[in-house]
């Protein structure tokens, strides 16, 4: 079932939901139940016509019509408002209208429905739960004089209540969808604001939800390059020195970039960050189980390597980084 039309036509703010009820779609299963109601109503009331009418801004249409003999009303038949139709009066006055014989009533003997031979009428309004609008009417018509009994009129009232209960369900579902749509819009807007802010501060933050895991990560790792930071470097170096075997050697290489400020000044911090990120990625290609690389400051890196005592200490030429 789709409520898109109703939602797109609705004005929403934080406190009020104004729903365009005329755009709400009645699902097929609900419509079939209404159709069975009309057929049963015609049978019990012994009347040729039972209708559910739906009102629009300038017209009223046959929304559902009983499948009975001598019924001239077809689904989607419509009539413009302003001509004194039976159902239009029910909608305007918001109460029952019962006319046993329009030909004997000076107020109704020129009613447009008489053209179709319908001289008897009994109808009730069908209202939306917001009390601001009317869906239409449920009514019975006859081509002969018909005084609808209290029992039948009571039955009509029960059918009115059942249909209005369905309308409440449709209304609440539409309202819920509008609320969800508005919530989604606000979430998307807030997310975009966070992304824009993140781009100004750090090039990339994949997860904006600060959990204990991310807090622990940022305590130990550089957020730009993902390399271990100064704290992790100190802890790692201490561990290497404590746990290393007597014959093991620990070599430390300090790597700094000169005149890096000129890159930021000439091309901006985003380009500078990108250059640092590329450098860190190339450094990480040198990592093996005995090598540790960290970023300890803006353009300062430290490489630690454990190895057996030999002439071959850390070997990392500039060509490895190009």
What is the rounded distance in angstroms from the CA atom of residue 310 to the CA atom of residue 322?
Answer: 27
193 belongs to a structural domain: no
pLDDT band at 89 (very low <50, low <70, confident <90, very high): very high
9 belongs to a structural domain: yes
26 belongs to a structural domain: yes
Identify the pLDDT of residue 104: 93
Segment 185-198 shows an average pLDDT of 84
What is the rounded distance in angstroms from the CA atom of residue 306 to the CA atom of residue 239?
Answer: 12
Segment 203-218 shows an average pLDDT of 62
64 belongs to a structural domain: yes
| Domain end (from 181, 199, 230) | 181
165 and 105 part of one domain: yes
Identify the pLDDT of residue 218: 77
pLDDT band at 243 (very low <50, low <70, confident <90, very high): confident
Is the Cβ–Cβ distance between 246 and 308 less than 8 Å? Answer: no
**b/e map of 285-318 (b: 16 or more CB within 10 Å)?**
eeeeeebbbbbbeebebbbbbbeeeeeeeeebee
Over the stretch 275-300, which tens digit does the pLDDT of each residue have? 888 888 888 887 777 788 888 888 88
Domain count for the chain, please give it: 2
Over the stretch 164-181, which tens digit does the pLDDT of each residue have? 999 999 999 888 888 888
235 and 296 part of one domain: yes
232 and 157 part of one domain: no
Per the structure, the complete domain to which residue 27 belongs is given by: 4-181
Residue 226 backbone phi and psi in degrees, to 5? 80, 5
130 and 268 part of one domain: no
CATH number at residue 42: 3.30.450.40
| Domain end (from 135, 165, 181) | 181
Q: Return the H-helix or E-strand segment holding 185.
A: helix 150-201
9 and 152 part of one domain: yes
| Domain end (from 181, 203, 238) | 181
Residues 228/229/235/241 CA torsion (nearest 10 deg): 70
167 and 222 part of one domain: no
User: Hey, is 69 helix, strand or coil?
Assistant: coil
Q: pTM, whole model, 2 decimals? A: 0.55
What is the rounded distance in angstroms from the CA atom of residue 153 to the CA atom of residue 123?
Answer: 9
In whole numbers, what is the pLDDT of the chain averaged over residues?
83
């Amino acid at each position: 079932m789709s409520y898109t039309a109703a939602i797109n036509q609705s004005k929403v703010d934080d406190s009020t939901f104004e729903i365009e009820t005329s755009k709400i779609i009645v699902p097929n299963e609900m419509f079939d139940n209404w159709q069975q109601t009309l057929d049963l109503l015609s049978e019990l009331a012994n009347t040729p016509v039972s209708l559910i009418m739906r009102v629009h801004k300038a017209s009223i249409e046959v929304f559902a019509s009983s499948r009975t003999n001598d019924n001239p009303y077809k689904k989607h038949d419509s009539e413009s408002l302003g001509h004194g139709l039976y159902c239009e009066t029910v909608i305007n006055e918001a109460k029952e209208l019962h006319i046993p014989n329009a030909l004997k009533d000076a107020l109704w003997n020129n009613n447009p429905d008489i053209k179709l031979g319908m001289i008897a009428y009994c109808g009730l309004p069908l209202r939306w739960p917001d009390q601001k609008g009317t869906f239409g009417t449920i009514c019975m018509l006859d081509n002969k004089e018909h005084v609808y009994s209290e029992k039948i009129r009571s039955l009509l009232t029960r059918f009115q209540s059942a249909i209005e209960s369905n309308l409440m369900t449709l209304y609440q579902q539409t309202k819920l969808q509008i609320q969800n749509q508005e919530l989604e819009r606000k979430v998307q807007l807030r997310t975009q604001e966070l992304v824009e802010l993140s781009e100004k501060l750090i090039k990339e933050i994949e997860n904006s939800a600060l959990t204990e895991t991310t807090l622990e990560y940022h305590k130990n790792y550089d957020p730009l390059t993902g390399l271990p930071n100064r704290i992790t470097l100190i802890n790692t170096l201490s561990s290497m020195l404590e746990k290393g075997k007597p014959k093991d050697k620990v070599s430390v290489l300090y790597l700094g970039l000169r005149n890096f400020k000129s890159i930021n000044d000439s091309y901006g911090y985003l380009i500078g960050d990108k250059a640092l990120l590329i450098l860190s990625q190339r450094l990480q290609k040198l990592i093996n189980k005995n090598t540790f690389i960290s970023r300890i400051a803006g353009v300062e890196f430290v490489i630690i390597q454990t190895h057996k005592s030999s002439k071959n200490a850390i070997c990392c030429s500039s060509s490895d980084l190009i």
